[in-house]
Amino acid sequence: MMISLLLFINCANAQSSQRPGESSKEYDKRLKQENKAISDANAKILWEAEKAERDAMTPEERRRYENTLRMKEQEKQQEKKVNKTGKTSDYWAMILGLNASNILGSNPDYKPVPRGQVGIEIPIISFSDYLGLRLGASYSLQGGKIKSEGYSYTPGGGSSSGNSTSITSRRNYLNLPVLIHYQKAPVGFFAEAGVQPGLLLSAKNKGTTTTNIKDDLKKLDIGIPIGVGYQLKNKIGVGLRITPGLMNVNKDKQFKNRNMVASLRASYAL
C-alpha cells in the first residue's frame, strides 16, 4: 500500500506546467528530464521494495523466487531466439520429417510406404503479428508399394495378369510449398495451408529388378499441404502435415494415379 502511494505521489508531481517566459521547446525538454527523473525514482522504489521482500524470505522461499525469475528470463530470451521480430511466423526453420507416402488410384492398387524428407522454411511476408506467408524447399522421398496376386507391373502405371509380384515405387521430389502460417504466440499451436509445386527428381520401381520409370511420369506435381503443430520453448516444433496431390502423375492418361503424403515433422528454429 505504501509503495503504491509513493508511486502515485511521484506521478502526480509529474504534472508540471509551463513557466512564464519559457518557450515550448524548453518546456518539452524540461518535462522529459523531469519524467525521466520520476521514472528512475519509481524504479528505485520498486527495487528497494523487492529487496526488502527478498531479505524477509526464508532460504527456501528465496530459492523458489530466484528460480521463478530465472525461468521467466529464459522464456523471454527463448522467445527472442525463436522470433526476433515479434511476429510469430517470422523465423527460419530446418525441417526433418517421416513420410507415410502412397500413390492413389486403381491402376494398380498401391499401399503406403514409410519414407522421409528434409528441408528448410523461411518467412516471405508478415500480414500481422500472427499471420504470415512462408516458403519451403524440401527433398521428399515418396512412392508406394504393390503387393497383390495376379499383377505384373508395367512402368507407366498399368498392370496385366500374371504371377504375383511385390514392387516398391520410389519417387523423389523437390517440393516447394508456399504456406499461409497462423500462430497466436511464439510458443504454442500453429496451423498452415497452401499450395505445393513438386519437381520430380528420380523415379524407380524396385522388385526382383530395378526399373527407371522417370520418363513415364510427369515432371511437375501440384499438392495442397494442410498442417497443424506446436512450437516448443526450446526452438523445436512438431507437426503433422497432409499433402494430397491434385494431378495425375502418369504421362499416359489411361492410367490415373495421384500422390498422397502424410508427414510427421520436426522443426528447429534458426
Condensed to tens digits (0 to 9), the pLDDT of residues 33-56 reads 877 877 877 777 777 777 777 777
Residue range 55-64, pLDDT digits in tens: 777 888 778 8
The helix or strand, by DSSP H or E, that contains position 70, with its residue range, turns out to be helix 59-82
Q: What is the pTM of this model?
A: 0.66
Range with the poorest average pLDDT among 84-88, 105-109, 190-194: 84-88
- Cα–Cα distance between 129 and 213 in angstroms, integer? 46
Range ranked top by mean pLDDT from 39-53, 87-101, 142-156, 172-186:
172-186
Local structure of 207: helix, strand or coil: coil
CATH, domain range 93-269: 2.40.160.20
Higher pLDDT, 200 or 163: 200
C-alpha cell belonging to residue 162: 500374371
| pLDDT the model gives residue 60 | 81
Residue range 108-132, pLDDT digits in tens: 688 999 999 999 999 999 998 889 9
User: For 38-43, which contacts have Cβ atoms below 8 Å and span 24 or more sequence positions?
Assistant: 38/10, 38/11, 38/13, 38/14, 41/10, 42/7, 42/10, 42/11
| pLDDT the model gives residue 6 | 47
Mean pLDDT for 21-34 is 77
| pLDDT the model gives residue 87 | 65
Which are the contacts of 129, defined by CB distance < 8 A and separation ≥ 6?
Answer: 86, 87, 88
Domain range summary for the chain, segments of one domain joined by +:
2-82, 93-269
Mean pLDDT for 73-80 is 64
Which are the contacts of 199, defined by CB distance < 8 A and separation ≥ 6?
Answer: 173, 174, 175, 176, 219, 220
**Averaged confidence pLDDT in the chain:** 83
> Closest Cα to residue 186, out of 86, 69, 71?
86
Residue range 161-181, pLDDT digits in tens: 556 678 999 999 999 999 999
Q: Kindly report the backbone phi and psi dihedral angles of residue 174, in degrees, each rounded to the nearest multiple of 5, phi listed first.
A: -100, 105
Q: 193 to each of 5, 21, 179, how far by Cα in Å?
A: 53, 64, 5
At 254, the pLDDT band (50, 70, 90 cuts) reads confident
The residues that bridge with 229 in the sheet, in sequence order, are: 190, 239
